[in-house]
Structure 1
Amino acid sequence: MSSSAAPEGALKPSLGMLDVVAITVSAVTPASSVFVIAPFAIQQAGSGAFLSFVLAAVLALMFAWCYAELGRAHSSAGGEYVYAKRVFGGMAGYATFLTVMVSLLFIPPVLATGAATYLNGALGTQFDTQTVALVIVAASYALGILNIRVNAWVTGLFLVCEVAALLVIVALGFGNVSQPLSVLSHPQFLDNGVMSVAPMALVIGAMGTALFSYNGFGAAVMLTEDMKDGGRGVHRAVLWSLVLVVIIELVPITALLLGAPSLQDMLASPDPIGYLLTTHGNATLSRLVSAGIFLSVFNAIIAIVIQSGRVIFSSGRDELWTPSLNRLFTRIHPRWESPWLATLFLAVPSAALSFSSNLADLTSFTVLLLVMVYLAVALSALFSRVLRRDREHPYRMPLWPAPALLAVVGAGYLLLNNMLAASLRDNMIIGGILAVSVILYSTYGKFSPAFQKL
């Protein structure tokens, strides 16, 4: 092993704060959020989607403060499960870990399937969606095991392409403003073909969709051990990631609503962004934008694979598995300086999910898992200072405990609504995850010196 390589069981600190922000924002996929998720919010609340995204940004800030404080106080590549374990004990740690791991398993194939559609749109081809998704997932895992510095450059480059695609919408919208500013502050929606004032109930109802579009900013904490400053700047990385994501998403959505030649026609269209591109652009421009979206989704999957590798690596170091698996997951590649076996752990099952015929169901289930993780983080931030007085909190969120309380209420409300809307199968799977966490903790966690000392 070279002198510059990371020692056994340790990551090599090589990232600056900007590198962490680039990888984190890439994982959020702002372009995909605008092109894929925002139209759902527009269908729900009309031009009130603007207020939905603004209110969701406020709620996301509450979660960001939770992540920021926990990321400094409980610095670890394991992220959320480490916080839950240290604050509430081993059982909570295992339950949170399995929830995070399953969500990281499902997200790549879901995103890859959406990316296949845009690849065909960019190239004018008709490649099989499932085959393209499989290739994308496999390629993402192959890139994910490379040196983290290389991946920081790759994700940063793709992020530039992603922002370029969004700038097209910004230029077309603000360059052809056709609607008054009042459509943002006094929202309208299409009610049975008639334009009407959108009630706040619709605006609030679309907040969940908007919050999902911002999801991923907290993942910066998973790269804390890769930071050259020892993670001292991770709270800034979390907050800057959220700020950039909100700006990158909210500006194009504002341009989209103001630039619509006819607000009624846009709201009636199943593809409001396509409506804007068709009205003010041309076929070539549409293809270029589709290429940008494809790159953004591919970029996101690479970033998510990197993050999942850090979580699995941390679980092996904390001895959550059998001794042989723990040794494999903590193995650092001598050349790439990455936890390559931990990164590849989910590759095969994640790629296999590309052939699922119910990706819409997988998407809704993934949202349910993400909200559960948010609730765990919010509760950990609410009680960390009280239950873990032995740990320093170098960064303290402003106005504590108000932001943490708001985060708990918001996550609890979204979780309740999602569970009521979820299928019996999805709720049974959630119960199964909790049951498995009990089994694993009872068989391994209780007897793991590393996990108990965590």
Structure 2
Amino acid sequence: MSTSTPQGSGLKPSLGVFDVVAITVSAVTPASSVFVIAPFAIQQAGSGAFLAFIIAAFLALMFAWCYAELGRAHSSAGGEYVYAKRVFGGMAGYATFLTVMVALLFIPPVLATGAATYLNGALGTQFDTQMVALIIVATSYLLGILNIKLNAWITGSCLLLEVAALLVIVVLGFGHATQPLSILVQPQFVDHGVMSVAPWVLVIGAVGTALFSYNGFGSAVLLAEDMHDRGRSVHRAVLWSLALVVVIELVPLTALLIGAPSLQDMLASPDPIGYLLSAHGNPTLSRLVSAGIFLSVFNAIVAIVIQVGRVVYSSGRDELWTPSLNRALTRIHPRWESPWLATLFLAVPSAALSFSSNLAELTSFSVLLLILIYLVVALCALFSRVLRKEREHPYRMPLWPLPAMLAVLGAGYLLVNLLLGASHRDLLIIVGIFAIAVIFYRTNGRLSPAFQKL
């Protein structure tokens, strides 16, 4: 505990593995991944989206083992930046921290913008998308400062509604199976209005989007200090979270492709989910599903906001900022027992991003940041046992270092491809993140006893 942390201000250990899994899976929000993110993969690779999700699940397992081992060995609410600092030094810690912050800044408005469409679909209204997204993000931040145990029950309950909405797709798809199973392993896409065999380059290109849809399973490590056992079972929470997310997402995606009356029409549709609901459902069912999806995305953003609070709280405790800001960020609310100022830290800029008019650009940049973070985690898992021999690793991933090496190779390959296709604006933002990291480290990090002892 750093000297800037007020006495008695630590996080209260009140969560079990089930609670952490409920919050973590809610943050992933499998329903919004299927309804909002998966259509991007379908547009990229056609029915090859299925193989992209399979490959992404394999890669995600490699990353999950990395998170599980690091989370158990370096239990901290700071997560990735703590691992980077301890394994590779202060500069790496600061760069990772800022990258994580920017990713957490972008993800809520990405999800909220996609959710606005489903709110209008549920109510039959035409509310302004940007205004709805703004209200969703702002409200989520306000709810995020409540007691975490209460939020665990809220997110867990909403998760059940989310799964129910996805079960509708499963029942409709498999209940009206039209397409042969071969379309899953022999991918097809629409090329200038004609069905063609999807090349592997398209399938691989969609893996990053699929990973984004699974993203969040590793964030269980951010709640290690909130657990009854102070993180001794956090590795189980990570692996259970990934297992549930993959099943909850992959089964509906399969049903969606198999149940398409016309594969060409579905692949050409900007809303493949809506296409299936219109073909096999009815207007009332479509509205109920839309309502379920809206609630699930709202639920996800609340869960992500909780994670934001833990990372920012940890950064204040580790004295990454100025002394006065460090003291503010480590304040625990006397009634809600949450780091409320830390939780609200990104509220205003995140809400402002809701006015971005291009959801695809927000999504692609978020994917780029997440792959960069995955690469850092994989490198930490590969070198942690070697460079930090003094630290025990109570949980050890199977077949180490092979999973960590595969995670490094997978993340590295995806990152190179994403950087080659990135816009100049995105590249400038990334360069800016590293430049600010250098400045922050030289002005605060090297002078922070807590950060240096971390």
State TM-score, norm by structure 2.
Answer: 0.96
Give, in whole Å, the separation in 2 of the partners of 1:260 and 1:130: 31
Q: Which residue of 1 aligns with 2:48?
A: 48
CA contact (8 A) 2:217 2:242 kept: yes
Amino acid at match of 1:255: A
Amino acid at match of 1:232: R
Does 2:388 match 1:396? Answer: no
Q: Which residue of 2 aligns with 1:309?
A: 309
Q: Which residue of 2 aligns with 1:121?
A: 121
CA contact (8 A) 2:332 2:340 kept: yes
Amino acid at match of 1:375: L
Give, in whole Å, the separation in 2 of the partners of 1:360 and 1:200: 22
Q: Which residue of 2 aligns with 1:74?
A: 74
Q: Which residue of 1 aligns with 2:225?
A: 225
The 5-angstrom pairing of residues 143-292 of structure 1 reads: 143-292=143-292
Does 2:361 match 1:328? Answer: no
Structure 2: segments with no counterpart, 5+ residues:
1-5
Displacement of 1:92 in angstroms is 0.3
Q: Which residue of 2 aligns with 1:296?
A: 296
Q: Which residue of 2 aligns with 1:347?
A: 347
Q: Which residue of 1 aligns with 2:409?
A: 409
Displacement of 1:358 in angstroms is 4.1
Structure 1 residues 306 and 442: alpha-carbon distance in aligned structure 2, compared to 1, 3 A threshold: same
Residues 241-287 of structure 1 show CA distances to partners (whole Å, capped at 9, x for unaligned) of 11100000000011111112222222232222211111110111111
Does 2:340 match 1:318? Answer: no
SS in 1 for 2:107: helix
Give, in whole Å, the separation in 1 of the partners of 2:351 and 2:41: 29
Give, in whole Å, the separation in 1 of the partners of 2:147 and 2:106: 24
Displacement of 1:108 in angstroms is 1.3
CA contact (8 A) 1:169 1:252 kept: yes
SS in 2 for 1:138: helix
Residues 17-74 of structure 1 show CA distances to partners (whole Å, capped at 9, x for unaligned) of 0110111111111111111222222222222221111111001101101000000010
SS in 1 for 2:85: helix
Give, in whole Å, the separation in 2 of the partners of 1:98 and 1:409: 23
Displacement of 1:233 in angstroms is 0.9
The 5-angstrom pairing of residues 360-375 of structure 1 reads: 360-375=360-375
Amino acid at match of 2:151: N
Residues 267-313 of structure 1 show CA distances to partners (whole Å, capped at 9, x for unaligned) of 23222221111111011111111111111110111011000000000
Amino acid at match of 1:8: G
Q: Which residue of 1 aligns with 2:12?
A: 12
Q: Which residue of 2 aligns with 1:3?
A: none
Q: Which residue of 1 aligns with 2:3?
A: none
Displacement of 1:387 in angstroms is 0.1
Give, in whole Å, the separation in 2 of the partners of 1:59 and 1:305: 26
CA contact (8 A) 1:35 1:273 kept: yes
Give, in whole Å, the separation in 1 of the partners of 2:432 and 2:268: 41
Amino acid at match of 1:32: S
User: Mean alpha-carbon deviation: is it higher for 16-25 or for 270-279?
Assistant: 270-279
User: Mean alpha-carbon deviation: is it higher for 131-140 or for 307-316?
Assistant: 131-140
Displacement of 1:172 in angstroms is 0.4
SS in 2 for 1:190: strand
CA contact (8 A) 2:209 2:367 kept: no
Amino acid at match of 2:64: A
Displacement of 1:7 in angstroms is 6.1
CA contact (8 A) 1:219 1:307 kept: yes
Displacement of 1:203 in angstroms is 2.1
User: Mean alpha-carbon deviation: is it higher for 332-341 or for 362-371?
Assistant: 362-371
CA contact (8 A) 1:9 1:317 kept: no
Give, in whole Å, the separation in 1 of the partners of 2:121 and 2:15: 35
Structure 1 residues 359 and 203: alpha-carbon distance in aligned structure 2, compared to 1, 3 A threshold: closer
User: Mean alpha-carbon deviation: is it higher for 428-437 or for 346-355?
Assistant: 346-355
User: Mean alpha-carbon deviation: is it higher for 421-430 or for 185-194?
Assistant: 185-194
Give, in whole Å, the separation in 2 of the partners of 1:267 and 1:104: 31
Amino acid at match of 1:313: Y
Q: Which residue of 2 aligns with 1:93?
A: 93
Give, in whole Å, the separation in 2 of the partners of 1:413 and 1:370: 13
CA contact (8 A) 1:145 1:336 kept: yes
Amino acid at match of 1:40: F
Residues 99-156 of structure 1 show CA distances to partners (whole Å, capped at 9, x for unaligned) of 1111111211221111111111110111122221111111101110000001001111
Structure 1 residues 144 and 115: alpha-carbon distance in aligned structure 2, compared to 1, 3 A threshold: same
State TM-score, norm by structure 1.
Answer: 0.96
